[in-house]
Structure 1
């Protein structure tokens, strides 16, 4: 493809647009239905926990594997002594913090155009400036180079994905103008209804193709797409993970991206058939992950899984740290209702008025262990998701290899 300024027109695929609009509508409805099925407070707690999955899977795509336990440790500044493992911990923790920070920014101080380089460079800078200075260099299987990642700055040279055989994206001298064209073409406010979601799919490919930074483009692009969709009202609660969908078959993800790189006959634009196929793939991944989350959040399954966790904590079964099984009723109520006034906890657990002190001890234990959370000793209770319950509550999401349990 000509490495001059590439035309992003047509911005949405000229082919299969009707199919894409139908699929986009299906995704929008499914995402809204999922958000509406779960209490707001429960969704917030679960969504924040799923940021760890976004980080885990996004970095897995880049060839960096860690565990949820390692990410939690890194967030507490507890790192491995092995430099390579520490670097991966740092990246994953930075990813979680960046997503938290910028998702909050969407609510309090949204950008005028989420596609602007000002905002996308903020994603890159927020990730890499959390790393120590010695790790703010490009990295490969051979370790760190002497080239700075230049947090938040556009690359100044060519980029290659095949060891230098070919270059990728626009030439460095054409990158600023190409990016400026991209930011205008894919500004979500330039679209309406289902076309905004198709634009989100298209912009993910265009961003990865441009490779605007010296390093970290993949994880920045995936964060960008999650934030783009949140900005148009899709998956704001982070109840499903786009990165998980991509990482389930990394090679197919890469194949679809690379196919959409194909030039048209003029060499100054993109082949529309491959572009349409890629956008359909993106939307199919979204729908697959929404359906997956919808299935695992089925209330009858959650009830059974909470019971399974309480069963392993039953004193009669010799648990080292027993928990009264009546706490299960409260945990289920918290999950379903979002908040429960402390004064109702005793009756929910089926305990009579003579058991007030024991009920308070159970609640205190739940809060201490993070199974329930509360702003103060008088504030309402909400559900908590400490790492130790994830394999019980959501085994399909948090397997032992992801959590770091053996």
Structure 2
């Protein structure tokens, strides 16, 4: 076998086991406590966050304000390749949510090919031309097909094409989640992220495909709150250490006490610790942001400032005045779920014209969703996100 699959639960240091237990506990609490009406808007927002950070790791320079603006007005999102790259990444995540990969199939070659194909779906053909060498030779990559050439990535020389197929067979067998239980599922998620990057199965897009894989694997492993927190955000906020720890797990084993495969078990442990620290940091951050009392206070302050026209947008311009009743509409939708317009009017105790005007402004700003005769539902606007979820970016 070329590599140790993961740090077994019974071999993991006690402090690392404790850390994983804490991650699992916080993830379960986050999954349970988030108000149901906020779940879909938050998961939609986290797709944007995930895409921004995963692509930032690869050098994409698009700023969050442009992404959010493009989400508000998709017809304006044409043009820059960097923004198109992020939009495709968001759409890939959306498709994977609507048509999820089977939990047992998540580590199969077919699933990994699908992740790669989903990301590259609809890209301009010139973005599929991959440079092979310093002489300028190029190769047209086919989305969803494994590489057919040997490659070098910095100091890392990935397995040959023949070796790669053998390693992918091992990968499919070793990381099957119906064979892994307890804390070992988290340790397997950590190790499989590195092992897939080490195998480097594609000519391009390995990093983003690997992070999409880890998103799917953690969900399949039973982390019900995942999607309300993001590993990519943690990796990108410490990208130097991310690459350093991946390289540590790339190292060949150092003697008989460092594992039985080609790769260092001590390097794998360093990577697993980093993965766990990143996961804990992220689930703690999002748990704090979604803590009901704190979120309630931020909502109060946001709408009070809006009612006084005292809140500025990202360009420094004052946002338009919004009646204070908007706060009551927002909280009603947050804690009681979707509402009929007549019920909102009755709760507010104002006239139909006032209600219609208020809801229209809130919908225009993206705070709520109005869809014909359907009940009014909660949303997260571009302007409210920065206030309600500080330090998100």
What range describes the TM-score normalised by the shorter chain of this pair?
Answer: 0.7 to 0.9
Q: How does 1:365-380 map to 2 (within 5 A)?
A: 365-377=361-373, 379-380=374-375
The CA deviation string for residues 15-61 of structure 1, in whole angstroms up to 9 with x for no partner, is 42544433222211110101111122211111111111101111111
Deviation at 1:197, TM superposition (A): 1.6
Query: Does residue 1:118 correspond to 2:110, yes or no?
Result: yes
Sort the Cα spacing of 1:193 and 1:249 in 2 relative to 1 into closer, same or farther, 3 A.
same
Deviation at 1:167, TM superposition (A): 4.4
Specify every segment of 5 or more residues in structure 2 that has no aligned partner in the other structure, as ranges: 312-317
Distance 1:65 1:175 in 2: 32
Distance 1:139 1:373 in 2: 45
Within the candidate set 269, 273, 281, 2:274 is matched to 281
Asked whether the equivalents of residues 30 and 287 of structure 2 are also in contact (C-alpha less than 8 Å), the reply is yes
Deviation at 1:258, TM superposition (A): 0.7
Within the candidate set 378, 384, 392, 1:389 is matched to 384
Q: Counterpart of 1:292?
A: 285
Deviation at 1:110, TM superposition (A): 2.2
Asked whether the equivalents of residues 42 and 228 of structure 2 are also in contact (C-alpha less than 8 Å), the reply is yes
Q: Counterpart of 1:402?
A: none
Sort the Cα spacing of 1:210 and 1:10 in 2 relative to 1 into closer, same or farther, 3 A.
closer
Q: How does 1:216-365 map to 2 (within 5 A)?
A: 216-235=205-224, 238-264=227-253, 265=255, 268-314=261-307, 321-348=320-347, 351-352=348-349, 355-365=351-361
Q: Counterpart of 1:7?
A: 2
Within the candidate set 36, 41, 44, 2:37 is matched to 41
Asked whether the equivalents of residues 94 and 127 of structure 1 are also in contact (C-alpha less than 8 Å), the reply is yes
Q: How does 1:95-244 map to 2 (within 5 A)?
A: 95-106=89-100, 110=102, 112-138=104-130, 146-162=138-154, 166-235=155-224, 238-244=227-233
Deviation at 1:361, TM superposition (A): 2.8
Sort the Cα spacing of 1:97 and 1:55 in 2 relative to 1 into closer, same or farther, 3 A.
same
Asked whether the equivalents of residues 20 and 198 of structure 1 are also in contact (C-alpha less than 8 Å), the reply is no
Distance 2:304 2:50 in 1: 30
Distance 1:236 1:70 in 2: 27
The CA deviation string for residues 234-286 of structure 1, in whole angstroms up to 9 with x for no partner, is 15561111111111111111111110112223784222222122112212211
Distance 1:251 1:321 in 2: 41
Deviation at 1:363, TM superposition (A): 2.4
Distance 2:137 2:367 in 1: 44
Sort the Cα spacing of 1:185 and 1:232 in 2 relative to 1 into closer, same or farther, 3 A.
same
Mean Cα displacement is larger for which, 88-97 or 19-28? 19-28
Alignment RMSD: 2.7
Deviation at 1:219, TM superposition (A): 0.8
Sort the Cα spacing of 1:374 and 1:39 in 2 relative to 1 into closer, same or farther, 3 A.
farther
Sort the Cα spacing of 1:28 and 1:375 in 2 relative to 1 into closer, same or farther, 3 A.
farther
Deviation at 1:173, TM superposition (A): 1.9
Distance 2:233 2:171 in 1: 26
Sort the Cα spacing of 1:382 and 1:205 in 2 relative to 1 into closer, same or farther, 3 A.
same
Deviation at 1:230, TM superposition (A): 1.0
State how many pairs are aligned: 378
Sort the Cα spacing of 1:286 and 1:316 in 2 relative to 1 into closer, same or farther, 3 A.
closer
Deviation at 1:73, TM superposition (A): 5.8
Distance 1:366 1:26 in 2: 39
Mean Cα displacement is larger for which, 292-301 or 302-311? 302-311
Distance 1:298 1:115 in 2: 34
Query: Does residue 1:89 correspond to 2:83, yes or no?
Result: yes
Q: Counterpart of 1:3?
A: none
> Which secondary structure does the structure 2 equivalent of 1:50 belong to?
helix
The CA deviation string for residues 206-232 of structure 1, in whole angstroms up to 9 with x for no partner, is 111111100111111111101111112
